[in-house]
Amino acid sequence: MRLTRFLPALLCAALTACGAPPPLSGLAPTLSAPSAESAELVTKFITNKLGASWGLAFLPGGDILVTQTGGGISRVSPDGAITKISGGPVPYTEGQAGQFDIILSPKFETDKTIFISYAAGKDAANSTAIFKAVLSGNALTDGETIVITTSKDTPQHFGGRMAFLPDGSLLLSTGDGFKYREHAQRLDTHLGKILRITRSGKAAGGNPFAGTPEAAHEIFTLGHRNVQGLAVDSKTGDIWSHEHGPKGGDELNLITPGRNYGWPIATYGVDYSGARITPYDRYGSMTDAIHNWTPSIAPSGMTVYRGDLFEGMDGDILVGALKFKQVHRLHMKDGRVEKETLWLSDLGQRIRDVQTGPDGAVYVLTDGGSLLRVTPKT
């Protein structure tokens, strides 16, 4: 059932709870137009034969696992050889649905366990799910779906990024289902949330709404539209995410347990028709974005760079962009974006994932199936 008719009531309740700031504050962070720094980089294509792809993970020994959007997993060697991995989930593939992220267990060296997010179900009822399995050679064994989130009847806005926290719990992002944006403000649904779970798929202990009646105990944060970037800073433990806005209003957020990130009550974007979604770009105790992009860049994967291979980049955030086909480097200082520069603007391919490799290089996966290794020019 759609809840569009309930939005005024939800909005009124949220505004009452949060106070009454002025509408359309116009206080969005502003920076000078980003400039390209591609001339300072060396880009090596590992392969361009993966097909439509979504996420990547590094195996010990140098191989890389890549998820194909339509289903299937590839193992890519440093010299570009591709081996198919059998035994993965079978995703629902209508619209934006498909197979999403892949992540290794923090204890992979001993347990050989991997986690894959994907769209499960069918047109009438589909959701973001997590598949857990053991990697044995080039096959996944003992596979099981450990999480199936709240279902919907739309093939859009699944989220699907994952990240492990230092305590071993697992974060999973979801989307609002496109038609169900009001659910992002509800605690009885997983839509429009970041969830925190155990390795077995249960709600992790200490989640902020575990004691709230009728709340889904897996909820870590709420008020998200479609989170497709999620990264934990390996040095500080800070959790960063980004999400797609509507027409404008893509956001970079610093994630804190229990916080409400505003969607759809507060946004810098407007609806695709040009109509206003809300009179507010920020609101009361709702957490405002650290940075936003208007017009939208359609952000994808992201990484917090930690390493010394790139001089002066330790702690900066790299964000892939599907719309403008480039990587955005966010120069960070004291938790804020000080400057923004562009990588790979001349590549001409939609960027799907960006990850820091064990060797300190940056690995970039394109929507069309190219895998690249990026290093600084010496």
Q: What does the pLDDT average to over 221-248?
A: 98
Q: Are the C-beta atoms of 192 and 184 separated by less than 8 Å?
A: yes
Q: Can you give the length of the chain in residues?
A: 378
Beta-carbon contacts of 191 under 8 Å, excluding residues fewer than 6 positions away, are 149, 150, 152, 174, 175, 176, 177, 180, 183, 184
Q: pLDDT averaged over the chain?
A: 92
Q: Is the pTM of this model over 0.85?
A: yes
Residue 377 is classified by DSSP as -
pLDDT tens figures, 58-113: 999 999 999 999 999 999 999 999 999 999 999 999 999 999 999 999 999 999 99
- pLDDT of 298 > 70? The answer is yes
Q: How many CB atoms lie within 10 A of CB 250?
A: 27
Catalytic site residue from 157, 183, 224, 328: 157
Q: What does the pLDDT average to over 348-360?
A: 98
CATH of region 53-291, choose from 3.40.50.460, 1.25.40.10, 2.120.10.30, 3.40.50.1220? 2.120.10.30
Where do we find the tokens 């719990």? Answer: 169
Encoding tokens for residue 295?
């017009």
Cα separation, 341 vs 349, whole angstroms: 18
157 catalytically annotated: yes
Beta-carbon contacts of 152 under 8 Å, excluding residues fewer than 6 positions away, are 125, 126, 127, 177, 179, 180, 191
Cα separation, 370 vs 366, whole angstroms: 5
Percent of the chain with pLDDT over 90: 89
Cα separation, 245 vs 251, whole angstroms: 7
Where do we find the tokens 């956001």? Answer: 251
DSSP 335-367: TEEEEEEEE-TTS-S-EEEEEE-TTS-EEEEET
Cα separation, 48 vs 244, whole angstroms: 27
**Where are the domains positioned within the chain?**
53-291
